[in-house]
Amino acid sequence: MASVGSPRQLGESRRSARKQLRLTQPQLALAAGVGVRFIVDLEAGKPTVRLENLLSVIDVLGSKVRLIGLPEVAGKDLSEGTDHGA
């Protein structure tokens, strides 16, 4: 499990995942329903990328976001609901 602490680390980890899947930036953008410019900005570590688009890219790459150290929401399974508008 990768741990990221900055936009740059997040971008580097997503670039690595994309390359492991042998996807080009345009292929990933198409699969995630985002623009190529978004992928370029994400991989460059731009700190103002749109969360909804980021979650779509993470999903396409077969990853999940896990928040550690936050309290659970009673009666709700936060692992459900992976519809990111795609």
| Alpha carbon distance 42, 83 (integer Å) | 20
Counting DSSP H helices and E strands in the chain, the numbers are 4, 0
Per-residue confidence at 86, pLDDT binned at 50, 70, 90?
A: very low
User: What single-letter amino acid sits at 82?
Assistant: T
Question: Over the stretch 20-76, which tens digit does the pLDDT of each residue have?
Answer: 999 999 999 999 999 999 999 999 999 999 999 999 999 999 999 888 887 877 666
> Domain residues of the chain, as ranges?
7-60
| Alpha carbon distance 7, 31 (integer Å) | 22
**What kind of fold does domain 7-60 have according to CATH?**
434 Repressor (Amino-terminal Domain) (1.10.260)
> pTM of the full predicted structure?
0.77
